[in-house]
């Protein structure tokens, strides 16, 4: 099927073709004809499936006739984050090249005066975050009684971030006769309950099971200890062919620390998190998109709506505490049918619990780096060395000194002492899931406090 088969105008089909798109994705194929009919939609699709274009394309044709009035937008798109709102704005700009439509983007961290100037000219499409839109409304700078089409994007994220009361207030300011397009990554019971407040007799469209991961993303898991996480990440970055990558941290304060650490080891990286000014966030994102900096260290503010063409890798420096966030994080790669790779670095009992929840949600086990058939097995040697150097708990003495200590004790034993055991006659040690001996990787997460001295023999890395 082609885009022209969906009922889009010739001008819009031409714009899509000029951008190199040939066939619609499943969510686009199912949504666009319904939206052009004027029906409400309750849609769900996994991240990276072209959901944004599924509503921006038909909206361009719907708004092609008519004229906007000052401070009275003809359509409204609500997004939970600044980045997602900016992503939607980019989608409108690239697809509306053959249409004369005015657009305004209302997000925090940007001057009110520039946004007011755009509203005064009249806009066909208003894209906004709930908080900034209400700020403009309370100042009398925007009226919402002429909105014909409403889009609520990433509704599940709106719910998580506590924006639903703001959305309800905004919807109460809109005309009751309108078309509403309600999209969410998942259609949970809570989302279904909330949607009834906004949509009327909607067409329900689901193109993927809830919380599923794309088959185009190769997933890998690396266990280590907390002290070695940065070393493990560096080894993965060196071994993998990383064109560009987003590295996710759970806490904002850890992002700047990780950027400094990577910079110290001659990696080029920028940070992006919620405490940065909007101008700084946009500058970092622009450098990353242009390829000037290959690594973007981000909090979950970037997990939704961040669309980087051909992103090769995603690294979870921290295991997400919310299992659904894992799906959205790794969904930044492997988009639009392209392949991608996702690595998660885990350490400790809490991470063991989070990984179990993730695997339960996605319905499969994340393969360990080095497992049979895992194409990331080349990384196991370097990462194993780092974890041996710094096991959980106290740091060990340098290998040379430790070996001297063992040698000295052996020299002091009297000649009549029992002959030491010959370790070479032992049965081969059992191998773990990674194909390494127990001496070569840290113990499982629930016993990482043990030290190697308690094993009763000299570890392999001390005998080298």
For residue 124, is pLDDT > 80?
A: yes
Can you give the pLDDT at residue 389? 39
Average pLDDT over residues 96-120: 93
Of 415 and 364, the one with more pLDDT: 364
Q: In this structure, are 23 and 76 located in the same domain?
A: yes
Q: In this structure, are 198 and 288 located in the same domain?
A: no
Q: Per-residue pLDDT tens for 19-76?
A: 888 889 899 999 999 999 999 999 987 666 788 999 999 999 999 988 889 999 999 9
Cα–Cα dist 248/306, whole Å: 13
Can you give the pLDDT at residue 189? 87
Q: In this structure, are 155 and 261 located in the same domain?
A: no
Q: Which of 222-236, 269-283, 288-302, 416-430 has the highest mean pLDDT?
A: 222-236
Of 378 and 365, the one with more pLDDT: 365
For residue 306, is pLDDT > 90?
A: no
Range of the domain at 405: 211-464
Of 417 and 306, the one with more pLDDT: 306
Phi-psi region of 229 (alpha: psi -120 to 50; beta: other; left: phi over 0): alpha
Of 440 and 303, the one with more pLDDT: 303
Q: In this structure, are 284 and 173 located in the same domain?
A: no
Q: In this structure, are 316 and 249 located in the same domain?
A: yes
Q: In this structure, are 63 and 44 located in the same domain?
A: yes
For residue 358, is pLDDT > 60?
A: yes
Q: In this structure, are 202 and 221 located in the same domain?
A: no
The residue written with tokens 């925090």 in the block is: 108
Can you give the pLDDT at residue 422? 46
Q: Per-residue pLDDT tens for 80-101?
A: 988 889 889 999 999 999 999 9
- Which percentage of the chain shows pLDDT scores above 90? 55
Cα–Cα dist 257/266, whole Å: 15
Last residue of a domain, one of 206, 228, 263: 206
Last residue of a domain, one of 206, 231, 260: 206
For residue 207, is pLDDT > 90?
A: no
Cα–Cα dist 307/353, whole Å: 30
Can you give the pLDDT at residue 210? 55
Question: Residues with Cβ < 8 Å from 216, sequence gap 6 or more?
Answer: 334, 335, 337, 338, 339, 340
For residue 251 the two structure tokens come to 């806490």
pLDDT band at 324 (very low <50, low <70, confident <90, very high): confident
For residue 381, is pLDDT > 90?
A: no
Q: In this structure, are 82 and 66 located in the same domain?
A: yes
Cα–Cα dist 225/441, whole Å: 10
pLDDT band at 371 (very low <50, low <70, confident <90, very high): low
- What integer best gives the mean pLDDT of the chain? 81
How many CA atoms are closer than 13 Å to the CA of 204, on its beta-carbon side? Answer: 8
Last residue of a domain, one of 179, 206, 233: 206
pLDDT band at 462 (very low <50, low <70, confident <90, very high): very low
Average pLDDT over residues 416-426: 43
Average pLDDT over residues 246-272: 94
Q: Per-residue pLDDT tens for 274-294?
A: 778 878 888 898 899 899 999
Q: In this structure, are 196 and 307 located in the same domain?
A: no
- Provide the domain count of the chain: 2
Q: Residue 304 CA to chain centroid, in angstroms?
A: 6
Can you give the pLDDT at residue 157? 85
Average pLDDT over residues 93-110: 92
Q: In this structure, are 343 and 309 located in the same domain?
A: yes
Q: In this structure, are 195 and 227 located in the same domain?
A: no
Q: In this structure, are 174 and 257 located in the same domain?
A: no
- Which percentage of the chain shows pLDDT scores above 70? 77
Can you give the pLDDT at residue 35? 97
Q: Which long-range contacts (CB under 8 A, 24 or more apart) does 13-22 make?
A: 14/98, 15/94, 15/95, 15/96, 15/97, 15/98, 16/57, 16/95, 18/97, 19/94, 19/95
Q: Per-residue pLDDT tens for 158-187?
A: 988 899 999 999 999 999 999 999 998 878
For residue 460, is pLDDT > 50?
A: no
Q: What CATH number does the domain containing 304 carry?
A: 3.40.50.300
Can you give the pLDDT at residue 195? 93
Single pTM value for the model: 0.63
């Amino acid at each position: 099927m082609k885009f022209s088969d969906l009922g889009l105008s010739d001008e819009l089909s031409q714009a899509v073709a000029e951008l190199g798109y040939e066939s619609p994705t499943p969510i686009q194929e199912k949504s666009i004809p319904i939206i052009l009919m004027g029906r409400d939609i309750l849609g769900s699709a996994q991240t990276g499936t072209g959901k944004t274009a599924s509503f921006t394309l038909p909206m361009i044709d719907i708004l092609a006739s008519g004229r906007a009035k000052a401070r009275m937008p003809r359509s409204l798109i609500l997004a939970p984050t600044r980045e997602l709102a900016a992503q939607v704005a980019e989608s409108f700009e690239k697809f509306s090249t053959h249409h004369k439509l005015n657009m305004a983007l209302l997000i925090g961290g940007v001057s009110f005066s520039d946004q007011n100037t755009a509203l005064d000219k009249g806009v066909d499409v208003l894209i906004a975050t709930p908080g900034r839109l209400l700020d403009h409304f309370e100042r009398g700078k925007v009226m919402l009684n002429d909105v014909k089409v409403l889009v609520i994007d990433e509704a599940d994220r709106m719910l998580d971030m506590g924006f639903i009361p703001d959305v309800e207030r905004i919807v109460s300011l809109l005309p009751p006769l309108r078309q509403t397009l309600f999209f969410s990554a998942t259609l949970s019971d809570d989302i279904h309950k909330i949607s009834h407040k906004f949509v009327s007799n909607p067409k329900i469209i689901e193109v993927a099971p809830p919380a599923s991961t794309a088959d185009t993303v190769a997933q890998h898991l690396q266990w280590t200890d907390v002290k070695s996480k940065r070393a493990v990440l560096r080894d993965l970055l060196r071994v993998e062919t990383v064109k560009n990558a987003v590295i996710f941290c759970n806490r904002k304060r850890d992002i700047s620390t990780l950027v400094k650490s990577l910079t110290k080891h001659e990696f080029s990286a920028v940070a992006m998190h919620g405490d940065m000014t909007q101008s700084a966030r946009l500058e970092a994102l622009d450098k990353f998109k242009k390829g000037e900096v290959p690594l973007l260290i981000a909090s979950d503010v970037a997990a939704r709506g961040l669309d980087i063409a051909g992103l090769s890798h995603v690294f979870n420096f921290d295991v997400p505490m919310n299992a659904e966030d894992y799906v959205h994080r790794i969904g930044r790669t492997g988009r639009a049918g392209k392949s991608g790779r996702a690595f998660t670095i885990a350490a400790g009992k809490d991470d063991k619990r989070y990984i179990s929840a993730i695997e339960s949600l996605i319905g499969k086990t994340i393969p360990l780096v080095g497992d049979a058939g895992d194409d990331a097995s080349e990384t196991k040697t370097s990462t194993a060395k780092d974890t041996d150097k710094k096991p959980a708990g106290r740091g060990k003495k340098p290998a040379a000194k430790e070996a001297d200590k063992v040698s000295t004790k052996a020299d002091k034993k009297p000649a009549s002492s029992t002959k030491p055991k010959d370790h070479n006659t032992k049965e081969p040690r059992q191998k773990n899931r990674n194909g390494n001996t127990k001496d070569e990787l840290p113990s499982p997460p629930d016993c990482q406090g043990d030290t190697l001295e308690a094993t009763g023999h000299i570890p392999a890395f001390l005998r080298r």
